[in-house]
Amino acid sequence: MAKKPILLKNALPNFPSPIAPDEVAGLAMESFIDSRVITNSDNNWKVAQGPFEDFSQFGERCWSLLVQGVDNWFDSVDELKSMVNFIPKWRIDDVMISFSTHRRRGWSPL
């Protein structure tokens, strides 16, 4: 039986982001980085695969950028894995970072 992933919202309150939104967006523009944008309009979900030249096509609301393997490019992000050192290393693939425009205008971490 497959297990479902867990999302722990606000598990680390007041945690400062180790990477700026512009840096995440910059990674999503690289062809060797796995990235995608998820959009939702009237409960119609769509996915667009990166790399991206810009994000203006998605507008200012109701989309999320997801970038895989960010820990491979930023030591400060790689250090996040030490916070879950109780999980066996063989179970951790990488650190995916997501930024969303769902909650307010502009970028906002999920």
Residue count of the chain: 110
pLDDT, position 110: 42
Question: pLDDT tens digit string along 73-93?
Answer: 998 888 888 888 888 888 888
User: pTM higher than 0.95 for the full model?
Assistant: no
Listed by start position, the domains of the chain span 21-109
Tell the burial category of 65 from Cβ atoms under 10 Å away from its Cβ (0-12, 13-18, 19+).
buried
Question: pLDDT tens digit string along 14-70?
Answer: 888 889 989 999 999 999 999 999 998 888 899 999 999 999 999 888 899 999 999
CATH code for residues 21-109:
2.60.120.650
pLDDT, position 41: 82
